[in-house]
Amino acid sequence: MELKTARALRRLQLISAPEAVSFLLLLVCSVLKRTTDFNAVPTMGMVHGVLFLIWVAFWGLAWYRAQWPWRRSALYFLLSVLPTGGFFAERMLAREGAAAVVAAREAAAGVPAGRGSADTVGAA
């Protein structure tokens, strides 16, 4: 993988947690709207909508750059529409992004595939 792939994964990772938090806050605001006089749904709806659109754009870019199989891209998209799925996606993307950075650095250093530190991480 190249460094552009790692950057695309990092962008998606960075937006995943705020998008998940905005979704949870929108759900809380929906409950409060129906149980009290507090109505923050229009505001939180807009915030969540903007964050979700940014997330979808970054997801598409990461899918293109990382060349994910359709199942992995579908898994990430499914996690984005579940209330706490963004937190799981963020953790998965952190691992995948770290591996992409290691692979990009090894490729830049000219380390042959199978000889770098990415293969020896869990070997000890």
What pLDDT, on the 0 to 100 scale, is given for residue 42?
A: 95
What pLDDT, on the 0 to 100 scale, is given for residue 1?
A: 58
What pLDDT, on the 0 to 100 scale, is given for residue 124?
A: 41
pLDDT tens track for 41-78:
999 999 999 999 999 999 999 999 989 999 999 999 99
Contacts of 116 (CB under 8 A, 6+ apart): 102, 103, 106
Per-residue confidence band for 18, with pLDDT thresholds at 50, 70 and 90: very high
Percent helix, strand and coil across the chain, each to the nearest 5: 75, 0, 25
